[in-house]
Amino acid sequence: MNILFIADPLESFKIYKDTTFSMMRETQKRGHQVVACKMTDVRWQQGEVVSAQVRDITLTGQADAWFKQTATRRANLKDFDAVIMRTDPPFDSEYFYATHLLSQAEREGAKVFNSPAALRNHPEKLAILEFAQFIAPTLVTRSDADIRAFHATHGDIILKPLDGMGGMGIFKVGADGLNLGAIIETLNRDGAQTVMVQKFLPGIAQGDKRVLLIGGKPVPFCLARIPQGGEVRGNLAAGGKGVAQPISARDREIAETLGPILAARGLMLVGLDIIGDSLTEINVTSPTCFQEITDQTGCDVAALFMDAIEAAL
């Protein structure tokens, strides 16, 4: 099979931890052709179908020069056996436009994972609102007064922008309210931007768990991302330490409830963020942590993913 990965520039990959790299490695291991491009390489023109300037590559097994480019060509997305969308957030206007191009490719016959429509319909912070039975006390608002009232009720709170990634722009405010006004001004910009506010969960000390769903089923191990050095953020990008562990009974309850629903909407791969017993985010753009889980447990997450892709084709 020929499998196209739409991803960030190959030269930027940190292959010791990159999930897209692990997917590519498993793809080649199974005898399939690995093809790559950036979203900026994709185009549609009247009289044509959606196409991209792509790179045929071979993985070398080396740490530095990890791939060899064997050809470049323009190819129609519908002619690939699968198109795997792995462009990292932020989910900005350009990402939104990209999902519309990929939806057009789907109408022309392309098989895109995750579904572009599902990517549009599941913003990673707001998607949890549908599953409120599993979340901590949460407020979504532009209102300064609403945020202050929420703080007065819950004391320790977390504030975050809706378009952040990797822990970017997350603030904790204690019961004393120190700097709350300045943080509100920074995040909501005089009511111009919507903010998510959540009750602080002390369980973060044991890690912000990344629970993976593949084809609607939970991977049996998660990665607990544990804050380090006085941080409240467990994100690996913010310096968190990743510790793989079996998923808990509560993790499984959440995953088995959401999994079939999200899979039916075209979300082949989902990363649930769970702190303690509470769901905090639903990641659908380019969920990570494959390599960390595999390296620490022996559970081959990339193989589970490719099994699901092959079964879907």
- With left for phi above 0 and alpha for psi between -120 and 50, is residue 176 left, alpha or beta? alpha
pLDDT, tens only, 15-43:
999 999 999 999 999 999 999 999 999 99
Per-residue pLDDT at 229:
73
Q: Going from the N-terminus, what domains does the chain have, and what CATH number goes with each?
A: 2-121 (3.40.50.20), 137-200 (3.30.1490.20), 203-312 (3.30.470.20)
Q: How far apart are CA 304 and CA 312, in angstroms?
A: 13
Residue 159 sits at the vertex; the CA angle it makes with 155 and 162, to the nearest 5 degrees, is 150
Per-residue model confidence (pLDDT) at position 240: 84
**pLDDT value at residue 228:** 86
> What pTM did the predictor assign?
0.94
Catalytic amino acids?
Answer: 125, 160, 210, 225, 233, 273, 281, 283
How far is the C-alpha of 313 from the C-alpha of 259, rounded, in Å?
Answer: 19
- List the pLDDT tens digit at each of the 313 positions of the chain: 999 999 999 999 999 999 999 999 999 999 999 999 999 999 999 999 999 999 999 999 999 899 999 999 999 999 999 999 999 988 889 999 999 999 999 999 999 999 999 999 999 899 999 999 999 999 999 999 999 999 999 999 999 998 877 677 899 999 999 999 999 999 998 889 999 999 999 999 999 999 999 999 999 999 999 988 767 776 777 678 999 999 999 999 999 999 999 999 999 999 999 999 999 999 999 999 999 999 999 999 999 999 999 999 9
